[in-house]
Amino acid sequence: MNEIIVKTVSYIELLTGEKVTIKPLDTKLRERVPMYLLGAYDLFEGALFDKRLCFALVDKEADTTPAQYSKRAQALSLATGLLPVFLMVNVASYNLQRLTNKRVNFIVPGKQLFLPALLMDLGKIIEDVPMPETIPATAQLVILYHLEVAVLNGKTGKEIAAIIGASTANVTRGLRWLVEKGLAELSGGKPKYLRFKFGGKALWNASLDSLRNPVLRIVRTDMSLQGLTCGQNALAEYGMLIEADHEMVAMGPKEYRAIKQDTNPLYGENEIQVWIYDPQILATNMMVDKLSLYLSMRDSDDERIQKELKTMIEEILWLED
């Protein structure tokens, strides 16, 4: 794949924590694009935060003005129905402010990401990106996998990425976060190997305040659902709670984007929880894992739920190195 596309994918994933796939623009969409745009750019498509994007690769800045970029973005949007984003190897410093003033979506891999349509303006060099206070989704997934599925001590970032189905860049960022928060250390030269500073329940207790609710959002549908049981229905399976009177399933952002069902933020008989990571990675027997379930429900005001959550955690057999 084009080197700039590879760098773009890594850059987006590093800054946003979202896994991104960029591929050549669909042939049917490409046929609708005016010839002058096909001649000017290599066109690709992808998605970020459930928004479909059309990436226009700019080989060289040439004499295109910010005003022209704005008009070409409108033409690309009209032809493809996607949100246009220009990928630029370099941008003259005097043009950066002009592009932002025109609200042109653009990315300079490793240097600048400006997507006003997605309310994103991230202008840090990769090495200077500060660690977020909120735990990255990949870091949380690594902790829970280590506690519930298999011990990850002694694994490299690349090995962990293959195990949990994430990009190496995302895993590297997650491991840095764990090290900076004092939960893990990386040893060796190149490559470096992960080792958590705590084992089993001690790691859970040490990281609990940092771990977050995995539910990104909840949508509803009247259609019957297939997926991992979650929420009150999962807690009922793990304990003594009564099931809800509707279906409840969890899925990752990628799986949710692929479903062919009508959903609504408020109305519908059944519930879909869209998680910040793919719950399948930790699941057993078509149920979300116990630790993620706890994190998704620990803020409930229902005393019965709190009692069942406490019992569930007390009964867990923690993995030890």
Dihedral of alpha carbons 251, 253, 259, 262, sign: positive
Whole-model pTM over 0.85: no
Quickly list DSSP for 134-170: SPPHHHHHHHHHHHHT---TT-BHHHHHHHHT--HHH
* Phi, psi dihedrals of residue 148, rounded to the nearest 5°: -115, -30
Cβ within 8 Å of residue 74, ≥6 positions away: none
Contact 103, 66 (CB under 8 A): no
Sequence letter at residue 120: M
Residue 64: the pLDDT is: 79
The helix/strand/coil state of 113 is: strand
Residue 147: the pLDDT is: 96
* Residue 286, CA distances (Å) to 71, 74, 227 in order: 49, 45, 7
Nearest to 169 by CA among 214, 210, 138, 212: 138
Q: How far is CA 189 from the centre of its chain?
A: 29
The Cα–Cα gap between 283 and 287 comes to: 6
Residue 129: the pLDDT is: 46
Tell me if the domain spanning 137-207 has CATH number 3.30.460.10. no
Mean pLDDT in order along the chain per 10 residues (321 residues): 82 79 92 91 88 87 78 92 90 77 87 79 47 82 96 94 89 91 90 92 94 91 88 93 90 83 79 93 95 96 94 89 60
For β-strands 184-187 and 193-196, DSSP reports them as antiparallel
**Helix, strand, coil share (%) of the chain residues, nearest 5:** 40, 20, 40
Residue 125: the pLDDT is: 38
The Cα–Cα gap between 171 and 229 comes to: 27
Locate the domains of the chain by residue range: 3-127, 137-207, 215-313
Residue 126: the pLDDT is: 40
288-292 contacts: CB < 8 A, separation 24 or more? Answer: 288/228, 288/229, 288/230, 288/234, 288/250, 289/144, 289/148, 290/148, 290/238, 290/316, 291/144, 291/147, 291/148, 291/204, 291/316, 292/144, 292/214
Contact 207, 196 (CB under 8 A): no
Residue 132: the pLDDT is: 61
